[in-house]
Amino acid sequence: MNEIIEELNDKQKEAVLHVEGPCLVIAGAGSGKTKVLTHKIAYLMHEKNVKPWNILAITFTNKAANEMKERVESLVGEVAKDMWIGTFHSICVRILRRYIDRIGFSSSFIIFDTSDQRSLVKQCLKEQNIDDKMFTDRSVLSEISNAKNEMLEPDMYKMRTNGEFRKETIAQIYSSYQKKLKENNAIDFDDIINYTIKILSENPDVLEYYSNKFEYVLVDEYQDTNKAQFTLVSILAARHGNITVVGDNDQGIYSFRGADITNILNFEKDFPGTKIIKLEQNYRCTQNILDAANSVIKNNETKYEKKLWTENGKGCLINVYKGRDEYDEANFITENINRIRREEYMTYSDFAVLYRMNSQSRSIEDILRREDIPYKIVGGLKFYERKEIKDIIAYLRLIQNTSDNLSLVRIINEPKRGIGKTSLENIEQIANQNETSMYDVIKRADQFGLNRVFANSREFISQIEELRNKKEELKISDLVKETLNKTGYTRALENENTVEAENRIENLEEFLTVAIEFEEQLAENTLEDFLEGITLSSDIDNTDDTEDSVTLMTLHSAKGLEFPCVFLVGLEEGIFPGYKCIGEPKELEEERRLCYVGITRAKQHLFISCAKQRTIFGSTSYNQVSRFINEIPKELLEGYDESFEENSDTSFDDYKYEWKYGNNSVNTYKTTNVNEYVSPKPQFAFKTAESFLNNLNKTKSDIDINIYKAGQRVYHKKFGEGKINYVEPEGDDAKVDITFDKIGHKRLMAKYAGLQIID
């Protein structure tokens, strides 16, 4: 064990050896935080004789949890399997499976994913005759999730509405939504942690058991915790007080998901006697990359300052490029991918392109395809979102839990069984009246006078009952095969005899591979374990590390990953940082943390790019160079010139366009010199560059911002009609806060919004 301790640097060793009382480890990017956690667990077991089942280690992704399990097992052996290592959600689900009956659910409960949640909200909107254009399922679900992150149950949320019509309406929907979840014996992601806290808080025997059991609690990525997660770890660690959290206040980037960075900033206040240790030695990046990251992040006000350093050497300068447009920028990326692969023998999987918004990937994809460079997008259409995959999962969920009305409605006519929409509405109404499930109504349809439903559903009910009886004895993969075979799902696709149907069959075969891999990971497994694993998986968990292709992803998705070569694109004011955060100090600081995360994903090569003009969401803009580029010392940058310091550049003198399209994609033309690249013409709403500039200048100067007042009704060409809440002066412009009838709340800059007053 002493040899393992000696592998650590001084600060890592200090964090491992501090085992009594609370410990806060501020771990900079690439500083070996996982090593600290795994070695601390091994030290507790080997040197302090702590039993593995008395240690709780919590991470944020399944991928991180699996990595931690493997590394701990390599240090302590098979006994690591007795430890509780997992995500917040997977840990809580283990507790819920055992005790959820205390709050009125069956232990066979299922977990609704985002698609299921949206379907349920739509049902609530329909039943309450609420306009789904004013209250979209997405916006309502977002508000409900925010309430749950604040641990507000429907009644508590309703009390906080303060007479606001919109929130009062959402409170009604929230209450109905929770009722429907319970009717389906289902919970959503946010319920998982909140219900665990509820059980611990309301049941002294359960609290006594787990607070005694977990003598040591370790939490990774603590800066990303929300109120519920903070409450959970506080409850579990209260008895023994031995809590170690590892995180980086400079990498807190998930406030939009409810993460509260004050959890890490206030840790020593919440846990008196905290030992604070900073890990500043980086093992991933070159010093030039770290100097750039340090220079950007120092512009934030922060409580725990640190300066990353490395023994890896200075490395290459950071290459910056200002393209003519997004296609020129994309061409710059492919030129350098090809060059570095040729010169340094790298593989495609060594490269990542990181952007602020998914919509930025389109032009990059166009050029990568043209250059025949393989790529994958993290966060695109996910495997588990495909229709046929959701169908087979719905079958499995119904087999597991016949109270799952959503799954039943999804697959009752997949394949066709002659049970139409009207019949399903009658079945649902009868189920509600009798406080039972739709499956139970269909099973006893003759007793409810639904003779046609009874006749058409006999085979379906027989199939489900048979599969339910077999679920305990069959392996998951065999149960999947039986389900696809007995229900006739695969046969129906084969009978279609189309390319699309063939692709769906191939996806179902891949789903069988998922089931087999699941069986190989766990000696003992159940259908509910399998369904949990699928529902709780994330984009990053599903990334194929063996595929040789360039990775395209948002900066938020890149957290926790690293690549030898990174392209950080679209660094323009209004893009990154986004226009919504400009003038909002807290939001701007989070954008800067996001930039810090992006920079520190690069191990050897970092490329940063922007464009003179960019067409996005159907409109062309001319943005200033991002402040984040100008926060990096010029001596660290290669390719930087005075053009980066100009306020804007709208010159068209040397810019040529080609109006050529083919095969539904933009044709672009490459020359031997990247600086001679000719872009395709963006789809302007203007005939000439001159007319565009004239309109731009008119937009800037001819609008009187003083005409906008609170209470006015206005029209926006994209967002429709809305009402101004307030107007806030900002320099020679004004920020107009508007609630639009169809899409909800927006903040727009008056000079550029093009608002028309309608009353």
Spell out the SS3 assignment of 579-612.
CCCCCCHHHHHHHHHHHHHHHCCEEEEEEEEEEC
Give the residue carrying structure tokens 């040789």: 548
Report the interhelical angle of 499-521 vs 476-486 (nearest 10°).
150
Token representation of residue 430:
């009868």
| 123 CB-side CA count, 13 A | 19
Dihedral angle sign, alpha carbons of residues 58, 64, 65, 70: negative
What are the DSSP calls for 123-177, one per residue?
HHHHHTT--TTTS-HHHHHHHHHHHHHTT--HHHHHHTSTT-HHHHHHHHHHHHH
- Exposure letters 703-735 (e unless 16+ CB within 10 A, then b): bebeebeeebebebeebeebebeebeeeeebbb
Q: Are 611 and 322 in contact (CB under 8 A)?
A: yes
Q: How far apart are the first and last CA of the chain?
A: 76
- In the residue annotation, 274 being an active-site residue is answered as no
Phi, psi of 749 (to 5 degrees): -85, 130
Q: Is 374:348 a contact under the CB 8 Å cutoff?
A: yes
Sheet holding 243-247, edge to edge: 84-87, 55-59, 216-219, 243-247, 23-27, 275-279
CB atoms within 10 A of CB 653: 5
* Active-site residue, from 116, 188, 221, 248: 221
> Looking at 116, 183, 190, 220, which residue is catalytic?
220
221 is catalytic: yes
Q: Tokens 């229709």 correspond to what residue? A: 387
CA distances from 344 to 237, 545, 600, 605 (A): 49, 21, 21, 11
Which residue among the candidates 592, 601, 612, 614 is catalytic per the annotation? 601
Q: Looking at this protein, which amino acid is placed at residue 605?
A: H
Distance CA 24, CA 187 (A): 33
**Helix, strand, coil tally for the chain in percent (to 5):** 50, 15, 35
Assess contact for 354 and 554: CB atoms under 8 A: yes
For 181, 502, 531, 593, the CA distances from 113, given in Å and listed in that order, are: 12, 27, 11, 29
* 601 carries an active-site annotation: yes
The first and second tokens of residue 741, run together, are: 């009838």
Residue with tokens 């049902």: 123
Instruction: Say whether 301 is catalytic.
Output: no
Q: How far apart are CA 311 and CA 604, in angstroms?
A: 13
- Strand 614-616 relative to strand 619-621, pairing: antiparallel
Q: Which residue in the block uniquely carries the two structure tokens 């968990």?
A: 541
Alpha carbons within 13 angstroms on the beta-carbon side of residue 233 total 29
The beta strand positions in 617-685, using DSSP E, are 619-621, 637-638, 657-658, 661-662, 665-666, 679-680
Given 33, 40, 69, 278, the catalytic residue:
33
Taking the C-alpha atoms of residue 229 and residue 211, their distance in angstroms, rounded to an integer, is 16
Position 525, amino acid: N
Q: 12, 123, 251, 360: which one is catalytic?
A: 251
Candidates 188, 218, 270; CA nearest to 535 is 188
The catalytic position among 13, 14, 34, 67 is 34
Place of tokens 């058991």: 209
Whole-angstrom Cα distance, residue 688 to residue 692?
6
Q: Is 220 a catalytic residue?
A: yes
For residue 265, the 8-state DSSP code is: H
Catalytically active residues are: 33-34, 220-221, 251, 601
